[in-house]
Amino acid sequence: MERRRIGSLEVSVVGLGCNNFGWRIDKQATKAVVDAALDGGINFLDTADMYDTGKSEEFLADALRGRRNEVVLATKFGFSMGEGKSGASPAYVRQALDASLLRLGTDRIDLYQLHTPDPATPIADTLGALKDLVKAGKIREIGCSNFSADQLREAAGGFASVQNEYSLFHRAPEADVIPECKRSGVAFIPYFPLANGLLTGKYRKGQPLPENSRGKDAFGPTVFTDRNLDIVESLIRFSMLHGHSLLELGVSWLAAQDTVASVIAGARTPDQAKTNAAAAAWHLSKAELAEVDEIVMQAA
């Protein structure tokens, strides 16, 4: 699989999102997914301390036993882990990191990311603490998530990456965050690349939403609208004409964006992990990218 850079790190163009581990699948199923992802060429695994309050990190530690050195391991901190355990103060940065290292059973985090901005702590203070931990060998690179372009500029080049929502259906980063990434050399890591399931091909116009699917969640009525499902049908036709699936289009379109380092895709089964791993193989031409944009934008 193609590799790209996040600072000094070389990561697979498709990464494994680990937010399903713990609250959606158990330890045994987690190991099966991780093994399938690694065997499919994925080396970039992204989790967070708050995913099932640490369970994702714990399950990941077990799944990586004997294979830790095969992966680029990323986790995040900042959201609440209980009373007094949140934010990005220097003291909490050190506390959160040590807790993640313990749960993950490792001596270093390859990419340590501030999960959300902390308005109560100057970013310079947070970055100072993180850089000290880099010098101590506990962190290799520093990233952030859910940051605006202004917040990236305020960090003055302190982050190697930013992880924000981005997909064919969510183009907001193109207005300012992605231009800032190009200007400053920050790698962009998209999350929700399949637009909450819209780009999986499971949701079709005129068909009932599958049971136990994201379409049944609270946000379903705002995501699975007639307009969005019309776009999905057009994108499915486009993909089939080119011999690919809608999921492959969703991942490959993101991989075609020159600031994107790795497309984070979650999986609940080994088959999903294998499918995701292979999904970036479609190298879209400029003409194909323009046609996709026309399909999406003409319905706006």
Q: Residues with catalytic annotation?
A: 51
Q: Which residues contact 238 (CB under 8 A, 6 or more apart)?
A: 249, 291, 292, 295
The tokens describing 168, both together, are 């064919």
The first and second tokens of residue 22, run together, are: 């713990």
Tell me the CA distances in angstroms from 67 to 43, 54, 64, 138, one per residue in order: 10, 20, 5, 19
CA torsion, ordered 153, 48, 85, 95, to nearest 10 deg: -80
Per the structure block, which two tokens stand in for 241?
């004409």
> What is residue 72's three-state secondary structure?
strand
Question: Left (φ > 0), alpha (ψ -120 to 50) or beta: where does 11 sit?
Answer: beta
Q: Which two tokens stand for residue 26?
A: 């158990």
